[in-house]
Amino acid sequence: MSQAKETRRRKSVEAQTAPNRATATIEAIIEAAERLWGAHGIEGASLREISIAAGSANKSSIGYHFGDKQGLIRAIFEARIPALEDRRRPLLAAAEAEGKLDDPITLLRIAFLPVFEEVDRHGRHSFAAFLRAINRFAQWDGRTGIQQLAPLASAAFNILRQKVSHMPQDLVEARLRLANEICYGAITDQDDNPPATGPDPVLATKMFEDALAASAHLMLLG
């Protein structure tokens, strides 16, 4: 094979593999950010630390692919939410068919059960931990966009808001934030068990159901 042909062949192979490398880098950064921010809070892990954890030799890779911290946060939501919404669709349809859309626990289950079922490749609820961190991160400016990305979860919460519309709005929103904290805390409760024992699925499910009941009671308090 001539040198010119070999050069063309090599460039063709590089052109075909470059998108795959970029996709792998993006996925690795998203996974690392979700894990580190979930464990340490949004302010507890820098973009540089995330880049290192993702195995990226290029320190500017996050800026190149996501722009900034807010862009990376949005990318995590965009990567995870569609699958959660797919799981919420039959839950919402079943609740409507059974006439349970006025039941606070049912509405909260529609919102949180898919998050409870979502685990990473290590069997941990890293996305729930990330959501808990976001719930505490006042500087996050993309909440409206996320509501648009997750219309079914938003619908469940809006129905719940309507049930308590007689209460002051700031009280309702404060209780919803606390309900998020309770449910995400319950979802991640078993993740820190020693590796030898691992999560107890029976206890994890009981904790989750208790969190739904406690949150529903909280929302309906006078």
| pLDDT in the model for residue 17 | 47
Do 216 and 105 touch, CB atoms closer than 8 A? yes
pLDDT tens sequence for the chain (222 residues): 556 554 454 544 344 444 566 789 999 999 999 999 999 999 999 999 999 999 986 768 899 999 999 999 999 999 999 999 999 999 999 999 999 999 999 999 999 999 999 999 888 999 999 999 999 998 888 888 888 999 999 999 999 999 999 999 999 999 999 999 999 999 999 888 766 666 788 999 999 999 999 999 999 997
| pLDDT in the model for residue 200 | 84
| pLDDT in the model for residue 192 | 80
pTM beyond 0.75: yes
Print the SS3 string covering the chain.
Answer: CCHHHHHHHHHHHHHHHHHHHHHHHHHHHHHHHHHHHHHHCCCCCCHHHHHHHCCCCCCCHHHHHHCCHHHHHHHHHHHHHHHHHHHHHHHHHHHHHCCCCCCHHHHHHHHHHHHHHCCCCCCCCHHHHHHHHHHCCCCCCCHHHHHHHCHHHHHHHHHHHHHCCCCCHHHHHHHHHHHHHHHHHHHHHHHHCCCCCCCCHHHHHHHHHHHHHHHHHHHHCC
Do 204 and 189 touch, CB atoms closer than 8 A? yes
Find tokens 């049912």 and name the residue. Answer: 106
| pLDDT in the model for residue 161 | 97
Domains of the chain plus CATH, in order, are 3-220 (1.10.357.10)
